[in-house]
A and B are shown apart, each in its own frame.
Chain A
Amino acid sequence: MHTLFRFFQRHHVFFLFLILEGIAVTLLIRNNYIQRISFARATGIVSGTIYEQISEWSNYLHLREINRRLVEENAQLRNGSLHSFYRTDSVVRFVYDTAGLRKYVHVPAKVVNSTVNKQYNFLTLNKGEAHNISKDMAVTGPDGIVGIISGVSGHFATVLPVINRNFRISTKFKKNNFYGALTWNGRSYRHAELNEIPLHVPVEVGDTLVVTGFSSSFPEGSPVGTVSHFDKKDGNFYAIEVLLFTDFRNLHHVSVVHDLMKEEQENLEQKITDGL
């Protein structure tokens, strides 16, 4: 008995090895049967959490590709949406369908170069004449307006963005349609200025501003930004500070809006001018 005890003591490591391997092998073999279900279920909670985290991280790494697809999808959806069409009937109906003439085509483009810290900022897009883009077309981002095409080459286009001191656009309050001119004062790339709003207009912080359809190539109602600050400074007008929806520092994908009826409209207006 004593010898047996000494034998076990001397080889305790080996016996522990046998025991632990025995447990492991038992787990392994029983794994093929009923055990598998309950054990896997219990472990599934642990590994499920881990894999969810991993997939979140890998999603982050694939954001570029995901973004590209989303922008394309957006452009496709906008092409199908109502405001891309010019309604041919003059009677107001409440049943909307897409049986109209197309007015807007959205071309997805990627911002390949941009500045935000200058007074006369510019963007460069990776689409140009080859994609039917021409001067003065509107450019919108996922959140709001971006700018106007200012120059085009074969495969690239430059954009005069909202954050350029030469930019000017007619903007109105979404809630009551009072309009004024939106310009940029060169101070912050997140903010623009809205002028020419008379003092009798009720203005509140947080009011949404959209584009009027008057002077620009933007579809009417394209989102611009919200009122972030205002005061009654000079004379009869407000000085309104607008927080732009578009964050130019974080702008990667945009769509260029091709207004198919702009030419027709301009030709007609030109005739009036000529006639006078």
Chain B
Amino acid sequence: MIGDVFANIFRFALLVFLQFFLLNNIQFSGFVNPYLYVLFVLWLPFATPGWLLLTASFIMGLVIDLASETVGYHTVATVFTGYLRIRLLKFIAPHDGYDPNMSPTIPSLGLSWFLKYVVILVPAHHLVLFCVETFSFSDFLPAVLRALASSIFTILFIFIYQFLSIRTK
């Protein structure tokens, strides 16, 4: 349990680091910008209570906002993703339920389940983020396109991250 807490704090720090020193500096033609940090919210253990999950999401969003000199965009999107995760987990639960000691990862619930989980949550996060960022309806369509394109890259990075962390275990 304590080990879980430290693992998640470490992941928090690592993802913030990666976001700032790597991903924010990669310009995929200026159109897409992957936001891997959302993986932190996705990876929290099943046993995480709702209030903690939302608070953790809030803090993650705030930290990213602070560092990217924006106010609120990432916080809005990340808290939304946290809440959606709580709803979604009930919705796509396997027949025998979740093992509370586990986290939503590929090894714990399999590739197809994880893909479903990620493909819903990541674009949701990106859509909220890019739309809030645009903040107008006239540029709505480009924002959606950017969100979807960026989601593809974020999901790709999530898979790379997961495979690397599995291999090192």
**Measured CA separation A23–B78 after assembly (Å):** 13
Encode contact with B along A26-49: 1 for CB under 8 Å, 0 otherwise: 111111000110011001101100
A24 touching B67, Cβ below 8 Å: no
B108 at the interface (CB under 8 A from A): no
A47 touching B66, Cβ below 8 Å: yes
- State the Cβ distance, B11 to closest chain A Cβ, in Å: 19
**Number of residue pairs across A and B with beta carbons under 8 Å?**
77
B72 touching A25, Cβ below 8 Å: yes
Partner of A58 from B20, B25, B71, B75 at Cβ < 8 Å = B25
| Stretch of A14-22, A138-146, A255-263 lying at the B interface | A14-22
Partner of B72 from A28, A44, A58 at Cβ < 8 Å = A28
Partner of A21 from B50, B55, B67, B76 at Cβ < 8 Å = B76
B75 touching A17, Cβ below 8 Å: no
Given the contacts A25-B76, A27-B72, A16 and B25 also touching, CB distance less than 8 Å? no
Chain B residues with Cβ under 8 A from A44's Cβ?
A: 69
Chain A residues with Cβ under 8 A from B21's Cβ?
A: 53-54, 57
- State the Cβ distance, A107 to closest chain B Cβ, in Å: 37
A50 at the interface (CB under 8 A from B): yes
**Measured CA separation A171–B20 after assembly (Å):** 53
**Measured CA separation A39–B66 after assembly (Å):** 9
B54 touching A17, Cβ below 8 Å: yes
Closest residue to B75 on the A side, CB-wise?
A24
Chain B residues with Cβ under 8 A from A46's Cβ?
A: 66-67
B144 at the interface (CB under 8 A from A): no
Closest residue to B61 on the A side, CB-wise?
A24
- State the Cβ distance, A31 to closest chain B Cβ, in Å: 4
Chain A residues with Cβ under 8 A from B79's Cβ?
A: 17, 20-21, 24
Closest residue to B86 on the A side, CB-wise?
A13
Given the contacts A21-B79, A28-B132, A50-B67, A16 and B50 also touching, CB distance less than 8 Å? yes
A12 touching B25, Cβ below 8 Å: no
- State the Cβ distance, A28 to closest chain B Cβ, in Å: 3
- State the Cβ distance, A171 to closest chain B Cβ, in Å: 48
**Measured CA separation A117–B70 after assembly (Å):** 54
B54 touching A16, Cβ below 8 Å: yes
- State the Cβ distance, A157 to closest chain B Cβ, in Å: 39
**Measured CA separation A57–B24 after assembly (Å):** 14
A13 touching B54, Cβ below 8 Å: yes
Question: Which of B57, B61, B65 is packed against the most chain A CB atoms within 10 Å?
Answer: B65
Chain A residues with Cβ under 8 A from B58's Cβ?
A: 20, 23-24
Kindly identify, within residues 68 to 103 of chain B, every residue whose CB is under 8 Å from any CB belonging to chain A: 68-73, 75-76, 79-80, 82-83, 86
Given the contacts A12-B50, A54-B25, A31 and B86 also touching, CB distance less than 8 Å? no
- State the Cβ distance, B9 to closest chain A Cβ, in Å: 19
Chain A residues with Cβ under 8 A from B57's Cβ?
A: 20
**Measured CA separation A14–B71 after assembly (Å):** 23
A-B contacts, 21 of them at CB < 8 A, read A13-B83, A14-B83, A20-B54, A20-B55, A21-B80, A24-B58, A24-B76, A25-B72, A27-B75, A28-B73, A30-B71, A31-B72, A36-B71, A39-B71, A40-B71, A43-B66, A43-B71, A47-B67, A47-B68, A47-B69, A54-B25
